[in-house]
Structure 1
Amino acid sequence: SRVFSAFVKAYANLQMFDEAIDIFWEMERLGLDADAHTYVVVVQALHRIEDLEGVEKFLNKLLSSETRNPRVFYMNFIEGLCVNQMAGIAYLLLQPLRLANVLVDISD
């Protein structure tokens, strides 16, 4: 899955957003796990091609799937969205996580 993730990121860096998204969906079809950063790249790509319906579909799929360590994954994913000027999307993602009692941050 690292190779596929690298291709997703490379295509996005080249502003070949459709290709980046296609490779991500191929990863999903093959059952390969992506890291949180790859998910951020896909949201960015969908946002760049102004596919807001795609963003919504993508986030709904993400919320309905099981991740290995949801707390760490969602913390990294939300942080990545915020760092990449997508705090609004991060906030929308945080709401259903709170309702589902998914702990995404622990205060010291």
Structure 2
Amino acid sequence: MGAADEIFHDVAAARAAGHPDLPVPPTYLFCLELEREGLAGIGVSLDRVLHVEQGFEYHELAHAGDRITFAPVVVSIRSHRRGRLELITTDTAVTRADGAAVADLHQVLAVRHAEGTP
């Protein structure tokens, strides 16, 4: 992830900086988002996906050991190229188990389909 600051890989340094544990590098939330079942649940295979756009609004840092929840909402699905390409826009709220907002994620994915299989 390129997070070279020692607070991301040294617990003592993280705690000395006021963190309860190692902070999760901010863009790692996007990696966790992709691993969730959500895309498979709407029939999207990751091997057919190209990232078009992503954005983050952070509220608090997540830390190692936090239990976080991803609540995705499909904002739109637009078909292009006679159904061979779909643009899927999602917004996802990320919260801690105690309900504290961690981040809001936004992404647009391009999904390729074989001709005749939208």
TM-score norm. by structure 2 comes to: 0.24
Please say which structure displays the higher CA radius of gyration.
Answer: 2
Greater fraction strand: 2
TM-score norm. by structure 1 comes to: 0.25
Greater fraction helix: 1
